[in-house]
Structure 1
Amino acid sequence: MLGLAGLLPFAAASSSGPWDLSQLMQRVGELYQPDHRGRIRLAQWEALMDEYASLDVDQQLDAVNRFFNERLRFEHDLAIWNQSDYWASPMQSLVAGAADCEDFTIAKYFTLRQLGIDETRLRLTYVKATEQDQAHMVLAYYASPTSTPLILDNLIDPILTATQRDDLVPVYSFNARGLWLGSASFDSRAATTTPLPRWQELTRKMSDEGFFGPRSP
């Protein structure tokens, strides 16, 4: 898990705009050569985004949370990538069929962005999971800037509010717009524009995969 040390100037690619999914699928085949099960997961992911693109936000949140929780097994980075701390792209997680908490959260964040949810409503949030006594990452969805967020978590399928998740203590959160420091509340106002180095590495990798290249109309 990363701490707050070593933050770099903000240079992350924007995640706005629809992806060209056919080009993405072609590119992932070239880069990662997925096996049969990996291709099935990728096809199911594409079908999910087609099916839920026009549905309401609550349905999208529930579908995306359950999709990744059901299709990816939890593994530590050492077991998946032979690295102590590695942030995988959604494509990499689906090909591998495994993810740690950061990878679950990253996959859910970018999938919901593709479904049309504005990035200002979504924050990848580091917390302390008190029951496990360890650092953890979840995805927070804010219906409005002042609302209590809903929490998408790989530990449980139900989506609960932050106040219902008294087993999670927020530390900091971020998205493509910046980073918010927080200790007592998920709704911290202490915004900065210096993202984590791992986030910059992730967006560079996703750009190479074609996520931030030419968009479909």
Structure 2
Amino acid sequence: MVVDTTSDFMTGSDRPPATFFSINAVLAKLDRQRGRGPDAVRLASLPPSHTATDAPLAVKEVPTVGLEPFGLFTFRAPDGLLWRKWRGVEAAMAKEQAVLDQCRNDAGNCPANAAQFQRLIGAVSSKSGRDKLEEANHGVNAAIRYVSDYSQHGEADRWSTPLATFATGRGDCEDYAIAKYVALTAAGFSQNDLQLVLVRDRAVRQDHAVLAARLDGRWLILDNRLSALIEDSDASSFTPLFAINQHGVHLFAAPYAKRGIPDGQVEAAPAASAGAGTPDWTGFEPDSENMSGGGLMLLM
């Protein structure tokens, strides 16, 4: 800043010499007067931290591919029937684990269904990599005959634990997926790389459940209807709805592609269209307070 201290009406020799100073020089002088010392530095261009600014926030690109199965994102689903089902299964699986532990210590008194499942775990444990997943998929598919819950239990949807399923040798898609989840976990496969995935299979217009397993950064699908593993990208007829593991029940969401958002925020679009309809077996009732949050929307 330059300031001329002369008056406009002064001319010629009456005009005193102009005085020039900078704003930083003024601030330095004030600092010396206030005892801040000669080394004190203040910059007039830096606003105090408590002041507001209209400067635009730093913008980053939203990733177009998520790290969850099908290249999507997931977020916690509101409490509902699926949470109650999964919590009940987890409690029952904890009790079954005590039976499996006893079988390892006393094989002679091991129930037949537990001994069969224990042999499956042993076979899966002996494999590594993709072979481990294929052993679990083949072993469970071969041990269980598909029967609907209406035919077996007289109810629309019951989720059974592995020993309960192996006791009858019958089950539906969720029972297959749960047995594979438990067998792989017991065989040392990381739970962080396993997801029970509930989908809408558009090819047959039915709800379905599979197990997704992440291997070398890619998600593979273990399906009771297929003897071979497939990559999630090849399951083109699936509309992903829910993902379930030790962290609970989560909803799938897709990112808004190529859209800049401020740092620290996440925006995503529904993974399923708004008119798809919530499957009856989920028992999920939308909560208007949870319909969106941080740019995420529930799948309807």
SS of the residue 1:86 aligns to: coil
Shift of the 166–27 alpha-carbon distance from structure 1 to 2, 3 Å rule, reads farther
Match of 2:207, SS? strand
- CA 1:170–1:72 in 2, change beyond 3 Å: closer, same or farther? same
Query: Secondary structure of 1:124's partner?
Result: strand
Task: After superposition, give the CA deviation of every residue in 1:154-205 in whole Å (9 maximum; x if it has no partner).
Answer: 11111011001112121110101133211549xxx99xxxxxxx9xxxxxxx
| TM-score, normalising length: structure 1 | 0.67
Deviation (angstroms), 1:131? 1.5
Q: Does 1:47 align with 2:47?
A: no
Which residue of 1 is the match for residue 206 of structure 2?
134
* Residues 75-86 of structure 1: pairs in structure 2 closer than 5 A: 75-86=147-158
Pick closer, same or farther for the CA change 1:80–1:59 going to 2, 3 Å: same
Which residue, out of 230, 236, 242, partners 1:172? 242
Gaps of 5+ in 1: 30-38, 191-197, 199-217
Residue 6 in structure 1 maps to residue 80 in structure 2:
yes
Q: Secondary structure at the match of 1:70?
A: helix
Gap change, CA 1:101 and 1:52, over 3 Å in 2: closer
Q: What's the CA shift string for 1:50-81, capped at 9, x where partnerless?
A: 23324203111101101111121111111112
Give the AA of the match of 2:151: A
TM-score, normalising length from structure 2?
A: 0.50
Q: Distance in 2 between the 1:4 and 1:117 partners?
A: 28
Spell out, residue by residue over 1:77-114, the C-alpha distance to the aligned partner (whole angstroms, 9 max, x if none): 11112222111110111111111011000010001110
Q: Within 5 Å, which residues of 2 pair with 1:102-117?
A: 102-117=174-189
Gaps of at least 5 residues in structure 2 are 1-76, 256-266, 269-281, 283-300
Distance 2:233 2:190 in 1: 23
Q: 2:160 aligns with which of 71, 88, 108?
A: 88
Alignment of 1:124-163 (within 5 A): 124-143=196-215, 147-163=217-233
8 Å CA contact retained: 2:200, 2:208: yes
CA contact (8 A) 1:149 1:162 kept: yes
* Percent of aligned pairs sharing the same letter: 27
Q: CA deviation at 1:44?
A: 3.6
Quote how far apart the aligned CAs of 1:130 are.
1.5
Runs of 4+ in 1 over 4 A off after TM superposition: 7-15, 23-29
Give distance in 2, aligned partners of 1:128 and 1:86. 18
Count of aligned positions: 173
Task: Decide whether the 8 Å contact of 1:170 with 1:184 is kept in 2.
Answer: no
| Counterpart residue identity of residue 101, structure 2 | D
Aligned to 2:193: 121
Look at both structures and tell me which one has the larger radius of gyration over its CA atoms: 2
Q: Which has the higher contact order (CA 8 A, sep 6+)?
A: 1
1:22 — aligned with what? 103
State the superposition RMSD in angstroms: 3.4
Distance in 2 (alpha carbons) for counterparts of 1:26 and 1:130:
47
